[in-house]
Chains A and B, each alone.
Chain A
Amino acid sequence: MKPFQYATASSADGALELCGKNDQFLAGGTDILGEVKEFVSNPGRLVNIKNLPGTREIVETDTGWKLGANVTIAEIAAHEGLRRALPGLTQAAAKVGSPQIRNMGTLAGNLAQHSRCWYYRHRDVQCLKNGGARCYARESENKYHSIFSGNPCISPVVSNMAVILAALEASVNIRRGKQTFDIKMAEFYMVAWFNPYAHNSLKPADLILEVNIPVKTRSCVYLQVSEKSDFDWALVSCAAAGDLDGNALKNVRVALGAISPMVQEVEDANSFLEGKELDRRTASMAANIILEEAEPLEHNGYKVPMARALIRRALFKLAGINLERETS
């Protein structure tokens, strides 16, 4: 790593004051320190924000849940109230990395983490996202990359939390300069869809304060497939949230990760499902709508059938059915 300054903020105001254009916030450090050590990111100063007041709480509010920016992934995974109210959130948190990563990694850091593309993270490669001339992945090793993208970079969103939070229609509360505002989870990665240099929609020195989930309880589920049983990134992840009125689907939202620079949500699929009886055909048709415009590359075509399977399974899981164990 290259030398950098280190400062600890004790208030949001202080954090913003300390964080200049070339500086970065430091929470658990599991993401940013890896970048710094590999010379992928060379911040002038790391501003420790772990001590910001009120950012380590999980609170049930009148209308839903409020999760502080510095709540750790392990705390989310272990929270009994959340487990009962929003099981999908617990499932997503429990699948993040390893116990060590979950203990150190924070929610804000998980959402704001940078690309895991193996070219981007490589100390001896400089790809487009890191100021180089080309996207290597498009032409070469793209097994773990996106099947959708609005720009030359195909590095996908890999945050488990983003996927389930999108399905739950959560919003992220952000401090920018003197202003505080909310953006929907759905928009949190929008800029990365268009802009190869972006990892998310945050601007430099934007500070996440909390994440708000607008429901107190909801039937929801998070599924992922990885190459290993544990401590491995999702090849594809899928979350669904919604209600079942008898056998009819209501307010269902499906979201996928690891297949696009933003969380993959297709409004047409959600509205297609509205009021429909849950059966295999309906589930498959929803999957078709979501995946219709996929453009797989040489090594990642498998993500299409894998995503299809997960969408179908997630929907059935909302009704408590393990589709993969059913005999058709």
Chain B
Amino acid sequence: MPSWPTEPVYIGKSTQRVDGPEKVTGEARYSSDIHNEGWIYGMILRSQWPNAKIHSIDLSAARNVPGIKAAIKVRDDEFVAHYYGQELAAVAGTSKQACIDALLLIKVDATDIAFVVSEETAINPDSSRVFPDFPNIGEPKVRENGEVDKAFAQSAVTVEGLYATQIQMHHCLETHGNTAHQQGDNLTVWASTQGVFSVRDGLASNLELPQNKVRVISDYMGGGFGSKFGPGVEGVLVSRLTQKTGLPVKLMLPRYDEAKAVGNRPSSFQKIRMGADADGKIIAFELNSFGTSGFTSGPSTAGGGGRAGFPSPYLYNIPNTRVRQAGVAVNTGSSRAFRAPGHPQASFGMESIMDEMAARLNMDPLDFRLKNDTHDSLPAEIRRKEWKIAAESFGWKEKYNPPGSSKGTIKKGIGLAGGTWGGGGRGTQAECQINSDGSVELRCGTQDLGTGTRTLMAIIAAEIFGLKPGQITARLGDTLFPPSGGSGGSTTAASVSPAIYDICHNALKELGEVSGMEDPTGNQWFAACRKIGIQPLIVQGRWQEGLSSRGVGGVQMAEVEVDTETGFIKLNKVLCVQDCGLVVNKLATESQANGGVIMGVGYALYEERIMDSLSGVVLNPNFENYKLPGAQDMPEIEIILMEMPERGVIGIGEPVTIPTAAAIANAVANAIGARVPTLPITPDKVLAALGKVPNKPADSLAGNWGDFDQKLNWSQYSPTQEEGGGH
């Protein structure tokens, strides 16, 4: 069985990024930076209608604009554009302005269809329909364990709550897009992507090209968060434009379009009931929820990964549970996987009602967690330790006061929440080239999303060869290299690390044979390599069992100050305690945790896509009104990595963003003694929760969807699934 070195030089320590200097000097060329003389631009015409029958699209005037080289339609037949922002046509031209001018001249003959963009409206039977043949909301998926009704009847305390989470946008700082160039039979695409191979295969099948004629490159990319696995409509369009013109065409989406069509985190509307016995052990749980993942979120797609369902009951060990979840279609762009799909929603609802229950039981929320976080699973076992580590470092017991007991106008509060994630590695191949001068090149068809994958590869090779990470050249992001999977699900580190381990050990064996040295590492390296001769050593290898694992816990604690007259929330501190097995690069791992917490802060306090029910458009397709947290909004972020090297490599990208929003929400509720049950928690909602807003009772926040389960008669549906919680 392979195993990681027990006394590593680099693994587990902090190594600066090997490509850091290129990035900060601007030398690193991201997909959106790559541009050469003679390359032309592409742009997409999108539907201005939230729902419309598109009869015809006339491109003739657009084609006559000086500089325009091609104009194409997405489809030739009549079709329905289901949401504001759906792709209709595309143009390619010698300047961006020529493209803008051309888009203005495209004539679209369309007929409006009634639309619905609000989930709360769409669930009503009399709502207009996204698809005429189906109701917007279908049958819920139902999971049931134990005897729920009996357990509620036996509960000493029962609490009920309505919670909702918003649509969050990915808004990667590098927008979606590609440059494509068709030369003869060969299509080369520079893509901003999380999966060079998935883009290659997607393009090949869409364009009916053999996979060996498509090459996808992604040297540096500026964030994906789950929204950049496939080529997308924009990738197919840019490829068609290069095929048509024979010229390289660059098509990066404008920021504005990012808000319409390239993914988001589904919303959730959760009605939760929980029952506990007098000792504070939860015995009964019921969740009814719906949410939208956009226009395709109809009856057939409820539940599961990137859709509107989420794991429930989350984390805690409850013997009697009933969960019913459905997706509701609205006329908006589709969701895509988004950093820890489902989990932040799950955590927010669950941890909110947990605190409500703890308050009713007069229990410290930490003690209440410890009492109920009792699943017989490794993540739960780890989390039980993490609660204690966190409490100790945060000073939870000293700081905790019952909800609403903070004095003065500006009130302090603390909150906590937990999470869980799978991660783990899977098939990846890689190769290593060792030259006679001792230089080393690693090649792997993975991609570096900004998470430090290049550096991770270099660290492992340096460790095994006894060299420095800076001496290793790590290449990735190219389908000419041996294949790896998409960078999603927190799997990259755990997929790539074992493959690099394997090639390096294979290489050592070969180098030993070539050089006749028993140990060609470290000081012997260059002497050994000189024996290689002019034909470099090229050694392959692949992912091996035993060097990675899956399943993590994670807990976070937050401290806030809330101004009860203005509703303004100042986030003072977030503590993140996270395990991820063997830490390869401590600096990059902490960086991931920082990023996860920051994203969670945005989810908790600022970010929300706003759809307008009157016009059907996205009202805030910009960073002025889609509010991202800035430097001044950042709390002190403390990270404690719970290292478990014996487990091997496990990813960390996703778990670290899960509990943040729930912990902040609980801290706000603890400060003011009232709960804002919907994200983001903005000043207007805080004032309403405090009963200070005229014409708006504090409990009106939940909207008018609270009895949806009765209206839709959900009790008629019987269980179809067994598992679905997250431990």
**Contact residues of A with B, CB < 8 Å?**
1-2, 116, 118-119, 122-125, 136, 139-141, 143, 225, 227-233, 235, 296, 299-302, 304-306, 308-310, 323-327
A305 contacts B692, C-beta separation under 8 Å:
yes
C-alpha gap A296/B687 in the complex (Å): 14
Given the known interface contacts A122-B617, A228-B606, A228-B629, the answer about A141 and B693 at a Cβ–Cβ threshold of 8 Å is no
Given the known interface contacts A136-B612, A141-B610, A228-B627, the answer about A305 and B619 at a Cβ–Cβ threshold of 8 Å is no
* Residues from chain A with Cβ under 8 Å of B407 in the complex: 327
Q: How far is the CB of A302 from chain B (nearest CB, A)?
A: 4
B682 contacts A305, C-beta separation under 8 Å:
no
C-alpha gap A49/B630 in the complex (Å): 33
Given the known interface contacts A136-B612, A141-B610, A301-B694, the answer about A231 and B630 at a Cβ–Cβ threshold of 8 Å is yes
Q: How far is the CB of B626 from chain A (nearest CB, A)?
A: 10
Q: Tell me what chain B mostly uses at the interface: helix, strand, loop, or mixed.
A: loop
C-alpha gap A232/B633 in the complex (Å): 11
CB < 8 Å: which of B570, B630, B692, B695 contacts A296?
B695
Q: How far is the CB of A278 from chain B (nearest CB, A)?
A: 18
Given the known interface contacts A301-B693, A301-B694, A306-B687, the answer about A324 and B563 at a Cβ–Cβ threshold of 8 Å is yes
Q: How far is the CB of B83 from chain A (nearest CB, A)?
A: 13
> Which residues B590-638 have CB closer than 8 A to chain A?
605-606, 610, 612-615, 617, 619-620, 624-625, 627, 629-633
Chain A residue with minimal CB distance to B625?
A118
Q: How far is the CB of B276 from chain A (nearest CB, A)?
A: 35
> Which residues B367-411 have CB closer than 8 A to chain A?
407-410
* Residues from chain B with Cβ under 8 Å of A304 in the complex: 693-694
* Residues from chain A with Cβ under 8 Å of B605 in the complex: 227
A325 contacts B410, C-beta separation under 8 Å:
yes
> Which residues B653-705 have CB closer than 8 A to chain A?
682-684, 687-688, 692-696
B630 contacts A225, C-beta separation under 8 Å:
no
B570 contacts A229, C-beta separation under 8 Å:
yes
C-alpha gap A322/B231 in the complex (Å): 55
Q: How far is the CB of B64 from chain A (nearest CB, A)?
A: 16
Q: Interface size class for chain B?
A: 35 or more
B630 contacts A230, C-beta separation under 8 Å:
yes
**Residue B30, interface by CB 8 Å:** no
A141 contacts B629, C-beta separation under 8 Å:
no
CB < 8 Å: which of A124, A225, A230, A310 contacts B631?
A230
**Residue B109, interface by CB 8 Å:** no
B48 contacts A302, C-beta separation under 8 Å:
no
Given the known interface contacts A122-B617, A227-B627, the answer about A306 and B695 at a Cβ–Cβ threshold of 8 Å is no
A-B complex: 3 closest residue pairs judged by Cβ atoms: A309-B565, A230-B632, A302-B684
C-alpha gap A282/B629 in the complex (Å): 37
A324 contacts B410, C-beta separation under 8 Å:
yes
**Residue B84, interface by CB 8 Å:** yes
**Residue B39, interface by CB 8 Å:** no
A140 contacts B567, C-beta separation under 8 Å:
no
**Residue B359, interface by CB 8 Å:** no
A122 contacts B408, C-beta separation under 8 Å:
no
Chain B residue with minimal CB distance to A229?
B632
Q: How far is the CB of A137 from chain B (nearest CB, A)?
A: 9
* Residues from chain A with Cβ under 8 Å of B682 in the complex: 227
C-alpha gap A158/B124 in the complex (Å): 38
C-alpha gap A302/B686 in the complex (Å): 9
**Residue B641, interface by CB 8 Å:** no
C-alpha gap A299/B701 in the complex (Å): 11
A229 contacts B633, C-beta separation under 8 Å:
yes
B 227-266 to A, binary, CB cutoff 8 A, 1 in contact else 0: 0000000000000000000000000000010000000000
CB < 8 Å: which of A116, A301, A306 contacts B696?
A301
**Residue B566, interface by CB 8 Å:** yes
B48, B565, B570, B606 — most chain A CB neighbours (10 Å): B565
* Residues from chain A with Cβ under 8 Å of B410 in the complex: 324-325
B683 contacts A302, C-beta separation under 8 Å:
yes
**Residue B568, interface by CB 8 Å:** yes
* Residues from chain A with Cβ under 8 Å of B84 in the complex: 124
Q: How far is the CB of B724 from chain A (nearest CB, A)?
A: 35
C-alpha gap A228/B571 in the complex (Å): 11
**Residue B113, interface by CB 8 Å:** no
**Residue B100, interface by CB 8 Å:** yes
Q: How far is the CB of A144 from chain B (nearest CB, A)?
A: 8
C-alpha gap A323/B693 in the complex (Å): 21
Given the known interface contacts A140-B613, A324-B409, the answer about A225 and B694 at a Cβ–Cβ threshold of 8 Å is no
C-alpha gap A225/B627 in the complex (Å): 15
B100 contacts A305, C-beta separation under 8 Å:
no
A sample of 21 cross-chain residue pairs with beta-carbon separation below 8 angstroms, ordered by A number, consists of A1-B100, A118-B610, A118-B625, A119-B612, A122-B615, A136-B614, A141-B619, A225-B683, A227-B627, A229-B630, A231-B632, A300-B684, A305-B692, A306-B683, A310-B566, A324-B563, A325-B408, A325-B409, A325-B410, A326-B409, A327-B407
A125 contacts B617, C-beta separation under 8 Å:
yes
* Residues from chain A with Cβ under 8 Å of B632 in the complex: 228-231
C-alpha gap A310/B629 in the complex (Å): 24
Q: How far is the CB of B701 from chain A (nearest CB, A)?
A: 12
Q: How far is the CB of A29 from chain B (nearest CB, A)?
A: 16
Q: A119-B612, A299-B684, A305-B693 are in contact. List 11 more A-B contacts (CB 8 A).
A: A1-B100, A118-B619, A122-B617, A123-B256, A125-B617, A140-B614, A140-B615, A141-B612, A227-B682, A304-B693, A326-B409
Q: How far is the CB of A258 from chain B (nearest CB, A)?
A: 13
